[in-house]
Structure 1
C-alpha cells in the first residue's frame, strides 16, 4: 500500500539517523517502527499492583499470644468464668 505521511521534524531526524546507523531504507525502518508500535498499543497496559499504606498501631499490649483464652480475656476486659 502506498501512502503519504507527514512527519514532525524531530521524528524525521530520528528516522534518518537510525536509517544511517542500521543501514536500512526509510521504508523498512518505518514499517518496523509501526509494527512494534502497533504491537505495543494492542497489548493491554499492566495494572499496578494494589497497595495499602501501612500504619503503626504501636506495640503489642499482650505479653503472650500463645494462650488464646488469656488474649481474649484481656481483649474483652472481663474475667473468664
Structure 2
C-alpha cells in the first residue's frame, strides 16, 4: 500500500538522494524509501560501545630516534626484536 505524501527536502539532502539514486541505479522514490527504512530501523539499534585506548608508559630508549619513523621501523624489524 502506498500513500502519496509531499515532502520538502533541503537542497543538500535532495542532492545526496539524487546521487545515491544514480549510484544504486534506483528511482528517487525507491531510494528515499530505502533510506528512510534504514534510518527508522537504526532508531532502535543499541549504540556501539566506544573504543577506549589506555596509554601505557613503555619507557624511553635513548638509542632510538623517536623523530624518525623509518629508523623505528628498521629497529623493530631486526631479528633480535621479532
CA separation in 2, counterparts of 1:23 and 1:9? Answer: 21
Deviation (angstroms), 1:17: 1.0
TM-score by length of structure 2 reads 0.53
For residue 9 of structure 1, what is the aligned residue in structure 2?
11
Runs of 5+ unmatched residues, structure 1: 50-81
Residues 11-20 or 37-46, more deviating: 37-46
How well do the aligned residues superpose, as a CA RMSD in angstroms?
2.3
| Cα distance per residue 1:30-64 (max 9 Å; x no partner) | 11001100000122334669xxxxxxxxxxxxxxx
TM-score by length of structure 1 reads 0.53
For residue 20 of structure 1, what is the aligned residue in structure 2?
22
- How many residues were matched structurally? 54
